[in-house]
């Protein structure tokens, strides 16, 4: 097949405004309109109480695949088990039993909306309604990027190739399909956002379908910059735990929320590197060759800051150098903390807050107390987050209450993609409160004694977590329980099976005396890294360069796709090709998620070109047995 002619043909058919592209975008709009959140529903009054069974989006996807020309479409029934499970959908196009077989993966489930019923963070438009910017280069809606863009990129690429060879689903002649250079199989799942806990079991249920696959294309990662193709060769893993701090019987000098903050403060060293040494020391070293490749990625520190939404004054926790920032995002383990009261996906909340209530002497000047506290806290604000200290009303007799908020970003960036080189407001807040209040309840502020009453009758200071937003607004959580979700993003080199115990040991060891720490381990997924020795890698890099019109770079993703290593192993060790249909500004997992058309179209063109050129990477493909 003439790849130059093919590339020219694809640029015409896979082009913004073309009939083919619009047909697929119409299906994207229908998919966005379906609620396929796989966890953390019941986000606001009137919201659904349990996640969907995914049948609505699966049936729409069946219709979509059939319309493209796929056959043998199957919505699988997951195996019975104690966990909630939802189906995978499989489909195929077979051009010849002696041709390579490309498996293509994406997922149909989505993250929570992370907003109330008025959807202010979605510009007042429901996240199930796809809306476009003025020049139609970006479309907003939950799942539009992660990962419906992956579904559409796969569908668009196959559709374009079928049109190129003259195949029509309405007249599926064998001779036309025989011109297809490869067999194509599609695998779309509905559990990725909740951990892919039955994906491998469902693959094992359908071993015959997967037996002849030669490689797997995974369209669920991010490019290094808009329109810049990256081939992802590493992923961080993840470990999470829900933590609750409770008081034991007896008098206490501090309350449970203070004790929780003091425990969370121990997660990081003074330079904010991970303080759980067994995890940090397991990070695989980044070689000089890898550092040189990171230097070639066409992005700046300013652009990395912008895509994370950092405020101009917020300082980095690593040197202000592109390579150091990217290394921290891709190849270093780090800790993130979210309040346990908030519905969230894998994000770093850009703002954190707590209400501090002090027992004060009669007639104490609250304004002077506030100024003293602010001056002290500002001195501990190592990374120059926006710090606000306001008097909470009403303070009450014998009390002075202040709301402390810290803001690092004007949004809530993805904790995997962006996390590592930027300060975490919830951890910065924990460290401030740890410095402010000693284990003995003493307030570590010079000159504050003139304002405070004695602490003979319980804690001198009470602390309560706040729901803090980027606009400075705060409100107490309805549930006063001291709880948090601790997330560790794991760099390659770590074993996720050991991390949960290391995290539990660290938190328990650092909890103040007189308190009980309840720890419930949540999802865990392994990090992943691959070499590029297989002959398929030069072929896909060439396809990416042709599809995007610029040279591709080897990249990584700081986010977690726990199934990648398990999937390739379950498929017999076939090479995985992780391609990105979206860009760093897509706000995956955040409110305001959006699809970048340059990345969607570039990815679709690249896959189509790869379909045409893949046979040279597989001179001896798995031979299909048609029985």
Question: Does position 519 have pLDDT exceeding 70, yes or no?
Answer: yes
The model's pLDDT over 148-170, given as tens digits with 9 standing for 90+, comes to 999 999 999 999 999 999 888 87
Of 482, 498, 525, which marks where a domain is finished? 525
Which alpha helices (H) appear in 451-490, and where do they start and end? none
**Residue 141: inside a domain, yes or no?**
yes
The rounded Cα 201 to chain-centroid distance in angstroms is 24
Tell me the average pLDDT across 21-29.
98
Asked if 434 and 318 sit in the same domain, the reply is yes
Identify the pLDDT of residue 429.
Answer: 98
Same domain? For 92 and 227 the reply is yes
**Coil, helix or strand at residue 187:** strand
Q: Are 253 and 392 in the same domain?
A: yes
Sequence-separated (6 or more) residues with CB below 8 Å from residue 229: 223, 544, 545, 547, 548, 550, 552, 553, 579, 580, 602, 603, 606
Report residue 497 CA to chain centroid gap.
Answer: 20
Are 214 and 246 members of one domain? no
**HSE on the CB side for 86, CA within 13 Å?**
24
pLDDT band for position 623 (50/70/90)? low
Q: What's the CA gap between 113 and 32, in Å, rounded?
A: 12
In terms of domains, do 456 and 540 share one? no
Q: Which domain CATH number covers 117?
A: 3.40.630.10
Residue 176, exposed/middle/buried by CB under 10 A (0-12, 13-18, 19+)? middle
Q: What is the pLDDT of residues 555-584, one digit of tens each?
A: 888 777 777 888 888 888 999 999 999 999
CATH code for position 315: 3.30.70.360
335 and 215, same structural domain?
A: no
Residue 339 contacts by C-beta under 8 Å, 6 or more apart in sequence?
A: 349, 352, 426, 465, 467, 477, 483, 484, 485
Q: Is the model's pLDDT at 31 over the cut of 90?
A: yes
Of 353, 349, 499, 496, nearest to 418 by C-alpha is 349
Q: How far is CA 166 from the centre of its chain?
A: 39
Residue 291, pLDDT > 60, answer yes
Domain that holds residue 428: 237-525
- What does the pLDDT look like over 201-225, one tens digit per residue? 999 999 999 999 999 999 999 999 9
Distance CA 416, CA 420 (A): 8
Instruction: Compute the distance between CA of residue 542 and CA of residue 218 in angstroms, rounded to an integer.
Output: 17
Any domain includes 551: yes
Place of tokens 């803001």: 407
Q: Quote the pLDDT of residue 1.
A: 59
pLDDT for res 172: 62
196 and 330 assigned to the same domain: no
Same domain, 409 and 546: no
Which among 11, 100, 176, 65 is positioned nearest to 540, based on CA atoms?
Answer: 100
Pairing of strands 515-525, 237-247: antiparallel
Res. 195: pLDDT tops 90:
no
Chain position carrying tokens 């506290």: 373
Residue 469, domain member (yes or no): yes
- 376 has pLDDT over 80: yes
Q: How far apart (Å, rounded) are the C-alpha atoms in residues 185 and 607?
A: 13
> Is the pLDDT reported for residue 393 higher than 80?
no
Please determine, for residue 626, whether its predicted confidence score (pLDDT) is greater than 60.
Answer: no
Q: Which of 473, 504, 525 is the last residue of a domain?
A: 525
- The tally of domains found in the chain comes to 2
**Structure tokens, 128:** 């199930």
Residue pointed to by tokens 């659904």: 48
Examine the pLDDT at 394 and tell me if it is beyond 70: no
495 near 239, Cβ under 8 Å? no
- State residue 6's pLDDT score: 78
Average pLDDT over the chain reads 92
Whether 541 is covered by a domain: the verdict is yes
Residue 9 resides in a domain: yes
Q: Would you state the pLDDT for residue 624?
A: 56
- Confirm if 567 and 576 have CB atoms less than 8 A apart: yes
Residue 362 lies in a domain: yes
Q: Provide the pLDDT for residue 568.
A: 86
559 shares a domain with 491? no
Element containing residue 358 per DSSP (H, E): strand 351-359
Quickly tell me which residue has 């993703």 as its tokens.
557
Confidence class for position 455, pLDDT limits 50, 70, 90: low
Give the torsion sign (CA, 219, 223, 228, 230): negative
What are 522's two structure tokens? Answer: 């949540």
Say whether both 454 and 535 belong to one domain. Answer: no
Q: Are 602 and 548 in contact (CB under 8 A)?
A: yes
> What is the Cα–Cα distance from 522 to 528, expressed in whole angstroms?
20
pLDDT tens digit string along 585-615? 999 999 999 999 999 999 999 999 999 999 9
pLDDT value for 625: 62
Query: Is the model's pLDDT at 76 over the cut of 70?
Result: yes
622 within a domain of the structure (yes/no): no
The residue behind tokens 């996640």 is: 51
Q: How far apart are CA 489 and CA 146, in angstroms?
A: 19
Residue 627 has pLDDT above 60, yes or no: no
End residue of a domain, out of 466, 497, 525:
525
Residue with token string 């707590």: 354
Threshold 0.85, pTM exceeds: yes
CB-CB contact of 100 with 577 (8 Å): no
Tell me what pLDDT residue 5 has.
76
Ranges assigned E (strand) in 437-575? 461-468, 474-476, 482-490, 515-525, 528-529, 553-557
Verify that 366 and 243 share a domain, yes or no.
yes
Q: Kindly tell me the burial class for residue 17, based on how many C-beta atoms sit within 10 Å of its own C-beta (0-12, 13-18, 19 or more).
A: exposed
332 and 385 co-located in one domain:
yes
Assess if residue 627 is contained within a domain.
no
What is the distance between the alpha carbons of residues 586 and 11, in angstroms, rounded to a whole number?
A: 23
Q: How far apart are CA 562 and CA 236, in angstroms?
A: 9
For residue 148, give both structure tokens: 């419906």
**Pairwise CA distance, residues 354 & 463, whole Å:** 7
Q: What percent of the chain has pLDDT over 70?
A: 97
- How far apart CA 300 and CA 591 sit, in angstroms, is 25
pLDDT band of residue 450 (cuts 50, 70, 90) is very high
């Amino acid at each position: 097949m003439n790849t130059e002619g093919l590339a020219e043909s694809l640029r015409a058919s896979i082009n913004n405004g073309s009939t083919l592209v619009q047909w697929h975008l119409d299906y994207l709009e229908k998919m966005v309109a379906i609620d396929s959140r796989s966890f953390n529903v019941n986000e606001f009054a009137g919201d659904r109480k349990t996640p969907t069974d995914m049948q609505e989006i699966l049936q729409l996807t069946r219709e979509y695949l059939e319309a493209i020309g796929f056959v043998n479409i199957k919505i699988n029934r997951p195996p019975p088990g104690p966990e909630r499970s939802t189906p995978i959908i499989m489909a195929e196009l077979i051009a010849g039993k002696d041709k390579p077989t490309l498996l293509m993966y994406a997922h149909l489930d989505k993250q929570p909306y992370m907003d109330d019923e008025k959807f202010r963070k979605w510009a007042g438009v429901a996240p199930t309604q796809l809306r476009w910017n003025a020049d139609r280069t970006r479309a907003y809606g939950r799942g539009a990027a992660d990962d419906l863009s992956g579904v559409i990129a796969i569908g668009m690429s196959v559709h374009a190739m079928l049109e190129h060879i003259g195949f029509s689903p309405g007249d599926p002649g064998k001779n036309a399909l025989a011109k297809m250079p490869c067999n194509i199989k599609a695998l779309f799942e509905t559990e990725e956002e909740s951990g892919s806990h039955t994906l491998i079991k469902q693959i094992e249920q359908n071993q015959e379908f997967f037996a002849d696959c030669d490689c797997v294309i995974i369209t669920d990662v991010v490019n290094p910059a808009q329109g810049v193709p990256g081939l992802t060769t590493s992923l961080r893993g993840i470990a999470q735990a829900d933590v609750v701090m409770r008081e034991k019987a007896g008098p206490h000098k501090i309350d449970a929320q203070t004790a929780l903050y003091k425990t969370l403060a121990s997660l990081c060293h003074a330079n904010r590197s991970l303080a759980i040494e067994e995890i940090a020391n397991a990070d695989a070293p980044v070689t000089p060759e890898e550092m040189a490749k990171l230097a070639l990625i066409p992005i700046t520190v300013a652009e990395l800051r912008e895509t994370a939404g950092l405020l101009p004054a917020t300082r980095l926790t690593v040197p202000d150098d592109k390579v150091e920032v990217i290394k921290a995002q891709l190849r270093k383990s780090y800790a993130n903390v979210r309040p346990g009261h908030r519905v969230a996906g894998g994000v770093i909340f850009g703002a954190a807050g707590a209400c501090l209530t002090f027992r004060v002497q009669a007639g104490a000047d609250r304004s002077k107390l506030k100024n003293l506290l602010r001056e002290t806290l500002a001195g501990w604000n190592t990374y120059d987050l926006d710090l606000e200290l306001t008097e909470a009303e009403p303070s009450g007799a014998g009390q002075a209450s202040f709301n402390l908020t810290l803001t690092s970003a004007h949004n809530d960036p993805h904790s995997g993609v962006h996390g590592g080189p930027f300060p975490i407001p919830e951890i910065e807040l924990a460290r401030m409160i740890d410095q402010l209040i000693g284990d003995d309840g003493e307030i570590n502020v010079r000159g504050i004694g003139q304002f405070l009453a004695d602490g003979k009758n319980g804690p001198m200071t009470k602390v309560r977590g706040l729901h803090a937003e980027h606009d400075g607004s705060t409100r107490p959580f309805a549930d006063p329980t001291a709880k948090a979700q601790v997330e560790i993003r794991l760099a390659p080199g770590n074993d996720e099976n050991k991390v949960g115990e290391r995290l539990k040991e660290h938190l328990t060891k650092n909890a103040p005396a007189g308190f009980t720490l309840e720890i419930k381990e949540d999802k865990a997924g392994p990090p992943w890294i691959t070499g590029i020795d297989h002959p398929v890698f030069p072929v896909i890099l060439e396809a990416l360069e042709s599809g995007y019109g610029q040279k591709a770079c080897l990249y990584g993703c700081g986010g977690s796709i726990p199934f990648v290593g398990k999937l390739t192993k379950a498929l017999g060790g076939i090479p995985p090709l992780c391609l990105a249909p979206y860009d760093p500004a897509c706000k995956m997992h955040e409110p305001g998620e959006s699809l970048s058309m340059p990345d969607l179209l570039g990815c679709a063109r690249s896959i189509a070109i790869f379909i045409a050129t893949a046979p040279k990477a597989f001179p001896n493909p798995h031979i299909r047995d048609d029985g």
